Amino acid sequence: MLAANLAFPLLTASILVPLAGALLLALLPARRRELTRPLAVLFSATTGAFTLWMLGAFDRSEAGFQFETAHEWIEEFGIGWHLGVDGISLFLVVLTGVLFPLTFVAVTPKHDAKAYYAWLLLLQAGCIGAFSALDLFLFFIFFEIVLVPMYFLIGGWGYGQRVYAALKFFLFTMFGSALMLVGIISLAFLDRDASLERSEAAGQELAGLQESIDLRESSGVEVPQEELDRLDELTTTVEGADRLTFDLVELAEGRAEALAADQAAIEAGEMEARDSWNPLHWEAAKWIFLAFALAFAVKVPLFPLHTWLPDAHTQAPTAGSVILAGVMLKLGTYGFVRFGLYLFPDASLFFAPVIATLGVIGILYGAVVATMQKDIKRLIAYSSVAHLGFIALGTFAMTTQGIGGGVLQMVNHGISTGALFLLLGMLYERRHTYDIAAMSGLQKATPVLAGVFTLVMLSSIGLPGLNGFVGEFLILAGAYLTLKWWAVVAAAGVILAALYLLWAYQRVFHGEPTEEDLATPDMRLAELAYMAPLLALIVFLGVYPKPVLERIEPSVAALVEHIEGATDFVEPAAATTGFSGGLVDDHGDADDHGEGE
């Protein structure tokens, strides 16, 4: 296995290289400003090459984490430098590695290029770190780091009300993150308290077992290997009881074992199910999940926490909009999958109808409000609210199809919406406006730009044969099995997406052109060259998504199995049939958390 045998720390390098690039640009003398852009592209492209190397070396049959790096960082508090990727995070890391250098090539800042590229490189390092961190405290650091460069990019290189938009973005996301930090610390200390309780029982068993073993050894009786193994296990439990840890895998697997034991006790009638909607009766896990969920809901953003996004997109520079839509919003949806479902399967199952409802409201609300926009950039911003609502719905359907489709749609949305914002940047460069009413009949003057815009727009709508269709289809198919009526209502969002995007396209590219419209230059060869990789991915993922799905699937299947083992949820058999060639075993045919039949 290539990934298992790879000694070079690819993930660490993918974080440190752009960090080093940002530092180098910050220290670059002003008299060598001609080196700024080439150096930025070099460091960003090197990072992209590392992520593509990772993609090539990834073992598609392995469900667990690969390319892992684990070192003690702050040993006293159990904080480590623990990185790794699986099928859920792999393509988000690759998307980050590829989209940043494309943006560097496509967009040139109007002023202060050194600071501009330094902030973007820092942002690239933070995004890759957040997608690959397997330590909760380390994840929080990267989750927060990305706020700073985006704040300065919007405030320093944005448009009109850029300072207001930057401040609104920062305050919204910072508030949610603060609560998540409280949740992270609470979880670590509660886990330690639970470990101490387990160690007391283990200590008593250890003393009895040790006495029995000593007695046998003194009598010359051979001690069974099972008892020796149990002795080692109990010794480890007792010795590590007072140790804090922020390790995601350790915390998640420990919680799953405890939840499985509770579930067995509930089924045996020894415990009552904790499914009350009275907040006074909620255990700590539900409150901590809500602290995480709020941070992720702001970042997605889910309705009604979305109000910062249209302003941020409208006022951000083109590169800021591309990275915000293409990469940063995925930190929220990824967070729900990695930390919500994996770390809190019980609370995720409990709150699934609520979050799915917010996702569906976002789908419809985002589409309706997008239809009424006069600013085409703001229209695309609201379309993101709608598209990301689909991902939230698929995630909390908790089926292989739903979660897998959601992960694929994160990548698809990053490609399609990133491409749309690049095209809007080209339009603004030519016309210096995003006002839909100010443009008409551009197709006559810019047939190539119109053709490329058509392809990207249709992928965003979800036209069969293009990338957006596959993800949305899997999400709706997976959601229908466990959240039937949510899926039925969400399907209307597909129709509304066609309405607002086709109507906007018709107004801008068709109709009677003015003299200014006829004088608009068409897409240049260089612009077509940097759009080509995104266009190729849009078509490839729509026609043949199997290479991506078969790498996503094992990790998603393992996550669903993890949820089933810790809760009373049983995935419907239809949710795994034919996902990417039938590689997943059926988990069952019942459903315990929605309207599935």
Question: Model confidence at 441, in pLDDT bands (50, 70, 90)?
Answer: confident
- Specify the pLDDT at position 285: 87
Residues 94-137: tens digit of each pLDDT:
999 999 999 999 988 888 889 999 999 999 999 999 999 999 99
Q: What is the pLDDT of residue 529?
A: 92
* 48-89 residue pLDDT tens: 999 999 999 999 888 899 999 999 888 888 899 999 999 999
Diameter over CA atoms, the chain: 104
pLDDT category at 594 given cuts 50, 70, 90 is very low
Whether residue 102 contacts residue 533, with contact meaning beta carbons closer than 8 Å, is answered with yes
CA pair distance 530, 283, nearest whole angstrom:
51
Nearest CA to 191 out of 233, 139, 135, 252 is that of 252
Copy the structure tokens of residue 306: 């979305």
pLDDT over 70 (residue 221): no
> Could you read off the pLDDT of 512-538 as tens digits, one per residue?
888 888 988 989 999 999 999 999 999
Which pLDDT does position 89 carry in this prediction? 94
174: nearest Cα among 143, 205, 149, 202: 143
At what angle are helices 400-431 and 546-566 packed, to 10 degrees? Answer: 130
User: Dihedral of CA 440/501/539/40: which sign?
Assistant: positive
Q: Is the pLDDT of residue 204 over 80?
A: no
Q: What DSSP designation does 521 have?
A: P
Banded pLDDT at 591 (limits 50, 70, 90): very low
Contact (Cβ atoms closer than 8 angstroms) between residue 375 and residue 593: no
Q: How far does Cα 519 stand from its chain's mean position?
A: 42
Average pLDDT of the chain, as a whole number? 86
Residue 224 pLDDT exceeds 50: yes
Q: Residue 31: which residues within 8 A CB-CB, separation 6 or more?
A: none
When pLDDT is averaged across residues 220-248 and rounded to a whole number, the result is 68
Task: Look at the block and give the residue holding tokens 């501009």.
Answer: 116
Helices (H), 28-145: 36-57, 90-106, 113-132, 136-145
Q: Which pLDDT value is given to residue 177?
A: 87
- Cα within 13 Å of Cα(519), Cβ side: 4
Structure tokens at 545: 């998504």
How sure is the predictor about 269, in pLDDT bands with cuts at 50, 70 and 90?
confident
Mean pLDDT of 86-93: 94
Confidence at 4, pLDDT banded by 50, 70, 90: very low
User: Residue 289 — very low, low, confident or very high, per pLDDT cuts 50/70/90?
Assistant: very high
Contact 349, 593 (CB under 8 A): yes
The C-alpha atoms of residue 146 and residue 173 are separated, in whole angstroms, by 10
**pLDDT band for position 230 (cuts 50, 70, 90):** low
Which stretch of DSSP H or E encloses residue 235? helix 225-239
Assign 3-state DSSP to the chain and report helix, strand, coil percentages, each to 5: 75, 5, 20
pLDDT at 489: 93
Nearest residue to 486 (alpha-carbon basis) of 354, 371, 350, 590: 354
The answer to whether the Cα torsion of 503, 509, 512, 514 is positive or negative is: positive
Contact 329, 366 (CB under 8 A): no
Residue 445 and residue 372 in contact, taking contact as beta carbons nearer than 8 Å: no
Residue 266 has pLDDT above 80, yes or no: no
Describe the crossing of helices 308-315 and 162-218 by its angle, rounded to 10 degrees: 120
Position 282 scores a pLDDT of 75
So what's the pLDDT on residue 140? 95
Report which residue type is found at 272.
E
**Three-state DSSP class for residue 68:** strand
- 314: Cβ contacts below 8 Å, ≥ 6 apart: 159, 165, 375, 377, 378, 381, 434
Query: CA-CA distance, 329 to 275, in Å (whole number)?
Result: 31
Over 60: is that where the pLDDT of 589 sits?
Answer: no
CB 447 within 8 A of CB 454: no
pLDDT digits (tens, 9 = 90+) for 316-357: 899 999 999 999 999 999 999 999 999 999 999 999 999 999
0.75 cut: is pTM over it?
yes
pLDDT at 238 over 70: no
pLDDT score recorded for residue 328 = 92
Digit-coded pLDDT (tens) for 136-153: 999 999 999 999 999 999
Mean pLDDT of 264-276: 74
Task: Delimit the domains of the chain by residue range.
Answer: 2-183+285-575
- Using pLDDT thresholds of 50, 70 and 90, give the confidence band for residue 421: very high
Report whether pLDDT(311) > 60: yes
The confidence score (pLDDT) of residue 78 equals: 85
Q: Which residue shows structure tokens 């309405």? A: 499
Q: At what angle do helices 90-106 and 36-57 cross, to 10 degrees?
A: 160
Q: Which two tokens stand for residue 292?
A: 């995480």
**Residue range 204-232: average pLDDT?**
65
| Residue spans of beta strands (DSSP E) within 142-232 | none
512: Cα within 13 Å, side-chain hemisphere:
0
Distance CA 76, CA 74 (A): 6
Among candidate residues 16, 328, 398, the one with its CA nearest the CA of residue 173: 328
pLDDT band at 210 (very low <50, low <70, confident <90, very high): low
User: pLDDT value at position 77?
Assistant: 85
